[in-house]
Amino acid sequence: MKNERWQTQTITTLDIENGIFGNCFAACVASILGMKLDDVPNFCVKETWWEDFGEWLSRRGYAAIEWKSDNKISGTHNANDTLLIASGKSPRGDWSHCVVWKGNEMVFDPHPSRDGLKDEPELYLLMFPVDLTEFSRDN
């Protein structure tokens, strides 16, 4: 049975001159948030993608942080249990590619080849709910 959570990118071409950008980032966002790919814009087609992405997330009660892989970030949560977007060099050419990452490994590549990244990730992105009271639990 196919796992509907994981969304495969539908645009795999990069043609900057004609404004065509792959939608691996949108597929990762959709996969992590449990959405359909059609419900997530291809933010990377515009130079204002980070701002547009932030506004889109905010309307859904989320925010995001991004950091380079060589930066150390401290937290109280075991990051091995957290789904992130990892970005690095594509194995198919001289451009970036995004995959879903958990702990120290890729858990899903939205590209149909499922080849992952050429090297280790260069950037990580974490999406998180802004109002945590919606997710609080009595322990």
Domains of the chain: which residue ranges?
16-130
- Write out pLDDT tens, residues 32-67: 999 999 999 999 999 999 999 999 999 999 999 999
- Write out pLDDT tens, residues 77-115: 556 678 999 999 999 989 999 999 998 899 999 999 999
**Which residues have a Cβ under 8 Å from the Cβ of 112 and sit 6 or more positions away?**
8, 9, 12
H runs (alpha helix) in the chain? 24-33, 49-59
Provide the pairing of β-strand 62-68 with 105-108: unpaired
Using an 8 Å Cβ cutoff, are 37 and 108 in contact?
no
Q: What's the fold here for domain 16-130?
A: Cathepsin B; Chain A (3.90.70)
- Write out pLDDT tens, residues 95-105: 999 999 998 89
d(CA 82, CA 80): 6
**Which residues have a Cβ under 8 Å from the Cβ of 54 and sit 6 or more positions away?**
63, 64
Say how many C-beta atoms besides its own lie within 10 A of residue 70's C-beta. 6
pTM, rounded to two decimals: 0.87
DSSP state of 109: -
**Which residues have a Cβ under 8 Å from the Cβ of 13 and sit 6 or more positions away?**
20, 22
CA dihedral 10, 12, 15, 18 (to 10 degrees): -10
Is the pLDDT score of 1 beyond 50?
A: no
